[in-house]
Structure 1
Amino acid sequence: MGRVTERRRVIRIRDGRASVRPDTLVAEEPLEIRLNGKPLAITMRTPGDDFALAAGFLVSEGVLASADDLSNIVYCAGAMVDGSNTYNVVDVVTAPGVQLPDITLERNVYTTSSCGLCGKASLDAVRTTARHPIDDTLGGTREPLCLEPELLAELPERLRAAQRVFDRTGGLHAAALFTADGELLDIREDVGRHNAVDKLVGRALQSGSLPLSRSVLLVSGRASFELAQKAVMAGIPVLAAVSAPSSLAVDLAAESGLTLVGFLRGSSMNVYAGEQRMALGASAAQG
């Protein structure tokens, strides 16, 4: 299988002096996702957790909702002309009887590390394919989530401290799942932030943990529509990002009941939707 990092020659210039040295870079390779033997999508990703990535991608597409929907995931052999395996093609086989939504058929989608969807049609697609309505009273409790801003402010540092590959490359996005008490449940890194989220969601599906109705999803970059979509499709009630959200992400959050937090830096943050889950003072609630 492909490596997470690779070494390349670089000319380093410091204080006007140049030197030649090796540098550690994050690996980026294409992954073709096939569904029941048919090509469906190609994404540029950091190798690793490929089965989870494919499963998570299909959760966001409305194909998979639980581990029972999944029969098998395998690497396709003979991807090269000489018959060798590149480990860059996976085939997801659904369980018998799983109904495939029309939006996934014959799409041949190419997704990049910063891709996204747009428009009212995208909102409608999420509404019609969502299998896990956001309900944070699930998971053995009827008490809705209530997040302290002070605790939420601590999560980016916890995310950063757990980024192992970033320390070596400085070139990876990260996504992490936390409990409402701030406990780190899982973290994944990838050259594409949407891939990192897919890996999280895919691992949750494989372990039978969907919907993630008591979890907080934190991403290291911006909150695009696509990331909000993935949170909604996995039943995640809170999405927080260290950077800005897009307008369509805010629209989706408001429509679906998702709590969306942006610019989570230090002790400051912006709450764009779902403020009912935030433990805010009376003046903030009235303002």
Structure 2
Amino acid sequence: MSSAAPRRPVIAVRGGVRTTRRDRLAAEEPMEIRVTGPDGVTTPVAVTMRTPGDDFALATGFLVTEGVVEPGTVTRVAYCDDVEREDQRFNVVTVRSARPVTPGPDRAHAATSACGICGVTSLDAVEVRCDPLSGGPRVPADVLLTMPDVLRAAQRVFDATGGLHAAGLFDPGGGLRIAREDIGRHNAVDKVVGTAALAGDLPLHDHVLMVSGRAGFEIVQKAAVAGIPVLAAVSAPSSLAAAAAERLGVTLVGFLRGDGYNVYAHPDRIVP
């Protein structure tokens, strides 16, 4: 399996001084996700550009948050042996489900690491049906404000490369339960959700999801499908993300940094 932070020779210029050194870069490789239903039929679902590592969690989280498989129905996850090139063996993952699967719209071309909904032909096609979330934890504001630093401290590959996003699952007291990194922000979220799904912990009604970048529509959708009622980001949400959060019952926090934040939807879960 490839390294998450391979080394590469670079020319570095600092203060006019030119040196050659080896630098670590954030790895980016394609991964094909396949799903097998109880009938034994295997279907390619998507190809996503990701940072190698936690591949089984990524595949599981993607399929769960996209509505392809139901939480709790995954019976096996494995790399595929039937690949034409041996160097691609660890870039194809098959998830087996005990219940019928819903592959949905065609996404079987490579989606970029920046894109969470690439390959989907319409907004209606990507809206996973789920009931609006109710209840959930009440999070003290002073606890919320500690989460960016806690998540940042867990970003080990970012420390080496400076090129990865992160997602973290917190309890209402600010304890970090799961932290994952990836070159794609949506992949980092899928890795978190997939880790919880494989542990049998979905839905995550009593948790907070923290992301290191902006909050787009697809991240709000993934949080809602996983049952996470509070989503916080260090950067801005999009207008569609705010509208989706309002509709899906997700508390959406943006610009969480320093001593401040903005709440864009369902503020009652944040305790001043």
What's the TM-score, normalizing by structure 2?
0.91
Distance in 1 between residues matched to 2:178 and 2:116, nearest whole Å = 24
Q: Is the contact made by 2:66 and 2:128 (CA closer than 8 Å) also made in structure 1?
A: no
State the Cα RMSD in Å: 2.0
Distance in 1 between residues matched to 2:111 and 2:92, nearest whole Å = 15
Q: Provide the identity percentage.
A: 51
Distance in 1 between residues matched to 2:186 and 2:139, nearest whole Å = 24
Q: Is the contact made by 2:128 and 2:225 (CA closer than 8 Å) also made in structure 1?
A: no
- From the superposition, tell whether residues 162 and 253 of structure 1 become closer, same or farther in structure 2 (CA, over 3 Å): same
- Structure 1 counterpart of 2:77, from 73, 76, 97: 73
- From the superposition, tell whether residues 85 and 115 of structure 1 become closer, same or farther in structure 2 (CA, over 3 Å): closer
Q: Which residue of 2 aligns with 1:88?
A: 91
Q: Which residue of 1 aligns with 2:205?
A: 213
Larger Rg: 1
2:8 matched to 1:22?
Answer: no
Aligned amino acid, residue 51 of structure 2: T
Q: Is the contact made by 2:166 and 2:211 (CA closer than 8 Å) also made in structure 1?
A: yes
Please state how far the C-alpha of 1:149 moved relative to its aligned partner.
1.5
Please state how far the C-alpha of 1:245 moved relative to its aligned partner.
0.3
Q: Which residue of 1 aligns with 2:67?
A: 62
What's the TM-score, normalizing by structure 1?
0.86
Please state how far the C-alpha of 1:56 moved relative to its aligned partner.
0.2
Q: Deviations along 1:115-146, whole A, 9 cap, x unmatched?
A: 14499x63685362x2x75244xxxxxxx421
Please state how far the C-alpha of 1:162 moved relative to its aligned partner.
1.0
Q: Structure 2: where are the runs of 5+ without partners?
A: 37-41
Q: Which residue of 2 aligns with 1:141?
A: none
Q: Is the contact made by 1:177 and 1:217 (CA closer than 8 Å) also made in structure 2?
A: yes
Q: Please show how residues 39-188 of structure 1 align to structure 2 within 5 Å.
A: 39-67=44-72, 69-81=73-85, 83=86, 86-95=89-98, 98-101=99-102, 103-104=104-105, 106-117=106-117, 122=123, 126=127, 128=129, 130=130, 133-136=132-135, 144-188=136-180
- From the superposition, tell whether residues 218 and 20 of structure 1 become closer, same or farther in structure 2 (CA, over 3 Å): same
Q: Which residue of 2 aligns with 1:7?
A: 7
Q: Is the contact made by 2:47 and 2:107 (CA closer than 8 Å) also made in structure 1?
A: no
Distance in 2 between residues matched to 1:100 and 1:12, nearest whole Å = 50
Q: Deviations along 1:34-64, whole A, 9 cap, x unmatched?
A: 1122211000001011111000001111123
Aligned amino acid, residue 32 of structure 1: E
